[in-house]
Homo-oligomer: A and B are copies of this chain.
């Protein structure tokens, strides 16, 4: 599992984690906007320059996920016969059982979902993936990835997933992720007609 990686890469990861950890601690204490990069750097015992080398922006510190779930590969390599919803469900649940059900790092989640500039970064991240999804949908349906229909479907999917995440957070992660995911996909697949009638 653990790739044989150079000392350099190890140090880098360790430092990034230290910076993120220090940052989250300070955010918890004073709030996201009240904490400066300089303070974070001092708390993590690196220079401000290094913080910027690791993370492009202050928001990036929150966005960074050392154990990010990989969705692209499983979806891209999915069998034509298996419905999209099932692939997604399986991938997420598989990841879940592997990583001790902490898909969402609650510590980061607060800022991901509540700080405006971080919200924007999250949304951007979601929509940045839509062209990839569009290519996949296009291949499956025999359309062009540049079709309005394909693009709208993918944009709607991203918007729906984003809304589901926000809902989950707003409800304090009460509902199990699997159930939430199913209801979300079901709504998007045949619920928009009812809702937007």
Chain B CB within 8 A of A153 CB: yes
Main secondary structure of the interface of A (DSSP, over half): helix
Give the number of copies in the complex.
2
**Bound CA span A166–B152, Å:** 10
Chain A stretch 141-197: residues in CB contact (< 8 A) with chain B: 141, 146, 148-164, 166-167, 170, 175, 180, 183-185, 187-197
A16 and B153 alpha carbons, distance in the complex (Å)? 37
Contact A137 B193 (CB under 8 A): no
Rounded to whole angstroms, the CA-CA distance of A112 and B186 in the bound complex is 33
Say yes or no: is A115 at the interface (Cβ < 8 Å to chain B). no
Does A140 make an interface contact (CB < 8 A)? yes
Per the 8 Å Cβ criterion, residues 20-46 of A in contact with B are none
Q: Is A127 interfacial (CB 8 A cutoff)?
A: yes
Question: How far is it, in angstroms, between the C-alpha of A127 and the C-alpha of B127 when the chains are bound?
Answer: 13
- Considering only CB atoms and an 8 Å cut-off, how many residues of chain A contact the other chain? 50
Pair B167/A163 contact, Cβ less than 8 Å: no
Known: A159-B162, A193-B190. A148 touches B167 (CB 8 A): yes
Q: Chain B residues near A114: list those with CB within 8 A.
A: none
In the complex, are the beta carbons of B180 and A148 less than 8 A apart?
Answer: yes
List A residues at the B interface (Cβ < 8 Å): 83-85, 116, 119-120, 123-124, 127, 130, 137, 140-141, 146, 148-164, 166-167, 170, 175, 180, 183-185, 187-197
List, sorted by A's number, 7 A–B pairs whose CB atoms are closer than 8 Å: A119-B124, A123-B127, A146-B167, A152-B164, A157-B196, A188-B192, A188-B196
